[in-house]
């Protein structure tokens, strides 16, 4: 019985990473915003943004696991409302260069702060879809439910920093490429276009 449980656990671990890794590393609002922030402000100043994502999303996963996901099952129309409301918000962000026109007290543009990035997860439809899918994939009913939720949360905490770091490096390389070619002034337009494409693909 113990051996069978270990085999089942190994299968669930494999399924989790097979689903989570592509979800974390493929383009989406978080990754595109990190890339743009790193290109505009540098990797060091974008670290708080990355920290907010790396901590905010696992917290979201945990809360979905302990009950928030059931709200969407009881009221499926909420998924559609969130989907189109978020799409409209993302298009607005694209219009304002991916929402990076945030300003400090002196009126200077600044990157997103950690708490802002953490709160952003709650209006990010990809984050909702990932959280619900990962919980549904790994967490079952029974006495081990909370352990499984904790395990999924820990897995997201493990993967998140690698994904954030990779996309920040992408942003740094994009900025270097545009600077070498003298087209850095088009950075905002390029990133906004990528966001629009991501939104269109999400709605299809």
What percent of the chain lies above the pLDDT cut of 90?
27
Inform me whether the pLDDT recorded for 37 exceeds 80. yes
Q: What is the pLDDT of residue 197?
A: 74
Question: Bigger pLDDT: 32 or 74?
Answer: 32
Q: Treating both helix axes as pointing N-terminal to C-terminal, what angle do 125-138 and 43-63 enclose, rounded to 10 degrees?
A: 50
Mean pLDDT of 106-130: 85
- H-assigned helices in 26-144: 29-41, 43-63, 69-74, 77-95, 114-120, 125-138
Give residue 125's pLDDT: 76
């Amino acid at each position: 019985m113990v051996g069978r449980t270990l085999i089942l656990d190994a299968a669930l671990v494999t399924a989790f990473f097979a689903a989570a890794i592509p979800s974390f590393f493929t383009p989406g609002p978080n990754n595109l915003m990190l890339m743009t922030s790193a290109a505009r402000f540098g990797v060091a100043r974008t670290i708080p943004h990355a920290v907010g994502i790396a901590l905010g999303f696992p917290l979201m996963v945990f809360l979905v696991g302990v009950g928030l996901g059931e709200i969407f099952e009881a009221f499926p129309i909420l998924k559609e409302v969130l989907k189109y409301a978020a799409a409209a918000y993302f298009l607005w962000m694209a219009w304002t260069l991916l929402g990076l026109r945030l300003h400090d007290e002196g009126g200077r543009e600044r990157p997103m702060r950690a708490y802002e990035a953490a709160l952003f997860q709650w209006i990010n439809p990809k984050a909702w879809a990932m959280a619900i899918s990962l919980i549904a994939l790994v967490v079952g009913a029974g006495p081990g439910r909370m352990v499984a939720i904790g395990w999924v949360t820990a897995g997201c905490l493990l993967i998140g920093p690698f994904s954030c770091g990779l996309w920040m490096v992408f942003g740094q390389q994009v900025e270097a490429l545009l600077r070498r070619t003298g087209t850095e002034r088009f950075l905002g337009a390029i990133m906004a276009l990528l966001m629009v494409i991501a939104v269109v693909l999400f709605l299809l």
